[in-house]
């Protein structure tokens, strides 16, 4: 059995997932990163997308994150994001509509922070919902 480690996924407004995992895969601004027990300490900037957690019991959690940070210490992994949501709580059609709406605003010249935040959140939701299957 693979060695497990504690993982905390925290959004600005709540704890999204806390448990033990044997693997974490997240999308950073530099590309995908995989974390196993014993990984070297790391801090990485997350890109809008999803984090995949293989739980200690062999289950799989997919979580939408719209940015933030991944922190790996000798004893724990933390994902800290302004927004994070379990993929099982998402509706793919609703996320795709939100992404189209935000993209349309951007195409019309709306480059506001609010529109960028809506786009990033919808993009993360679509990626996580699709990955969940």
State the DSSP code for 88: G
Whether 122 and 106 have beta carbons less than 8 Å apart is answered as no
Chain segment 61-92, per-residue pLDDT in tens: 999 999 999 999 988 999 999 999 999 999 99
DSSP helix/strand/coil, 30: coil
Calpha distance 12→59 (Å, rounded): 25
Calpha distance 18→105 (Å, rounded): 35
Chain segment 89-123, per-residue pLDDT in tens: 999 999 999 999 999 999 999 999 999 999 999 99
Tell me: pLDDT of 1 over 70: no
On the 0-12 / 13-18 / 19+ scale of CB atoms within 10 A, 88 is: exposed
Calpha distance 55→41 (Å, rounded): 20
State the DSSP code for 52: E
Calpha distance 117→111 (Å, rounded): 10
Query: What's this model's pTM, rounded to 2 decimal places?
Result: 0.90
């Amino acid at each position: 059995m693979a060695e497990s480690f504690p993982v905390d996924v925290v959004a600005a407004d709540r704890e999204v997932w806390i448990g033990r995992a044997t693997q974490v895969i997240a999308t950073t601004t530099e590309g995908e990163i995989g974390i196993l027990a014993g990984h070297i300490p790391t801090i990485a900037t997350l890109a809008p997308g999803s984090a995949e957690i293989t739980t200690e019991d062999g289950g799989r959690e997919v979580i939408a994150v719209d940015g933030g940070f991944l922190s790996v210490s000798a004893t724990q992994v933390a994902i800290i994001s302004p927004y994070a949501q379990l993929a099982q709580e998402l509706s793919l059609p609703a996320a795709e509509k939100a992404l189209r709406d935000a993209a349309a605003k951007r195409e019309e010249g709306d480059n506001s922070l609010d529109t960028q935040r809506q786009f990033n959140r919808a993009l993360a939701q679509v990626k996580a919902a699709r990955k969940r299957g």
